[in-house]
Amino acid sequence: MTQLNVAALQLAFTDDIDENIANVSALVREAASEGAKVVLPPELFEGLYFCRTEDEALFANARPVETHPAVLAMRKLAAELRVHIPTSFFEADGPHHYNSLAMIDDRGEVMGVYRKSHIPDGPGYSEKFYFRPGNSGFKTWQTPGATLGVGICWDQWYPETARSLMLMGAEILLFPTAIGSEPYDEELDTSRMWRRAMIGHAASNVVPVVAANRTGDECGQTFYGHSFICNEWGDILAEFGATETGVLTATLDLDAARRHRAGFGFFRDRRPELYRRLVEDI
């Protein structure tokens, strides 16, 4: 039986990058000590969620994957603990800036970089100011435990992300996130829709999902946590509420998931010739 122990981290961040990396590192150690082989920190954990405002000075925090401090720290830790760490970071590449993820393997090597495909924009989430829409396309990563598929935050709302990753062989979908309150509508709590969209991906694709979100108040914006791990039915295996911090772990039975996925037959019965509109500019 192919079982894999996975972990999601939930915590709050400050404007002190060293402190943030130290806090994430402590939780990665805790997850590894509990047997996790894949440990998912939240999106852009190097600092505060800076897309709250549009400030050109902040582009200076972007770095190439080779020199980004969060990536370098996670590479060292991954090699030491023998875990995979999908590491979200603010990437600079020549004149371009991306919301990116380095898949770091259990030897501390960067397997490759995925650049966030779907970029949000709205009050409190001015990502279109900072990030060029990703040009990497979706990526999956073959690891000893499972083929991993990763989307970054806004990607997680898109059925196209989940389905594309599945068609590329993903056996687990992972989503690092930074999402919270909506400044334009203080009544609106999107946390339940956020979970429903991803649990919908689990059910429609018969695949386990891992989501890691930040928590805490940052300059009036409250990040709502609710990180979770669910199985291929969408049943929650481990979850946090809005303010808890720490490590979620769960053991996924990937053989059972594969068997259930085949038995359901969703992929057998797809009709790609009828899906033309999905790839048209409409």
The residue ranges that bind a copy of itself (CB under 8 A) are 117-122, 133, 137-138, 154, 157-160, 162-164, 167-168, 184, 192-194, 196-204, 233-235, 263-266, 269-282
**Residue with Cβ nearer a copy of itself (21 or 51):** 51
- Among candidate residues 43, 91, 127, 232, the one labeled active-site is 43
80 belongs to the catalytic site: no
**Residue with Cβ nearer a copy of itself (129 or 266):** 266
**Residue with Cβ nearer a copy of itself (193 or 219):** 193
> Which strands, in side-by-side order, build the sheet including 3-10?
38-40, 3-10, 246-253
Least separation in angstroms between residue 49's CB and a copy of itself is 18
- Among candidate residues 37, 46, 116, 127, the one labeled active-site is 116
3 state DSSP class of 245: coil
In eight-state DSSP terms, residue 178 is -
**Residue with Cβ nearer a copy of itself (143 or 231):** 231
Least separation in angstroms between residue 235's CB and a copy of itself is 8
3 state DSSP class of 98: strand
Where b means 16+ CB within 10 Å and e means fewer, 127-162 reads beebbbebeeebbbbebebbbbbbbbbbbbbeeebb
The rounded Cα 139 to chain-centroid distance in angstroms is 13
Give the pair of three-digit tokens for residue 121: 């924009």
First to last CA, the chain: 44
Least separation in angstroms between residue 174's CB and a copy of itself is 17
Q: How far apart are CA 195 and CA 178, in angstroms?
A: 13
153 belongs to the catalytic site: yes
Least separation in angstroms between residue 206's CB and a copy of itself is 8
Least separation in angstroms between residue 274's CB and a copy of itself is 5
43 belongs to the catalytic site: yes
**Residue with Cβ nearer a copy of itself (220 or 263):** 263
Q: How far apart are CA 177 and CA 153, in angstroms?
A: 4
- Among candidate residues 46, 153, 218, 232, the one labeled active-site is 153
Where b means 16+ CB within 10 Å and e means fewer, 32-71 reads beeebbbbbbbbbbbbbbbbbeeeeebeebbbebeebebb
Q: Kindly list the catalytic residues.
A: 43, 116, 153
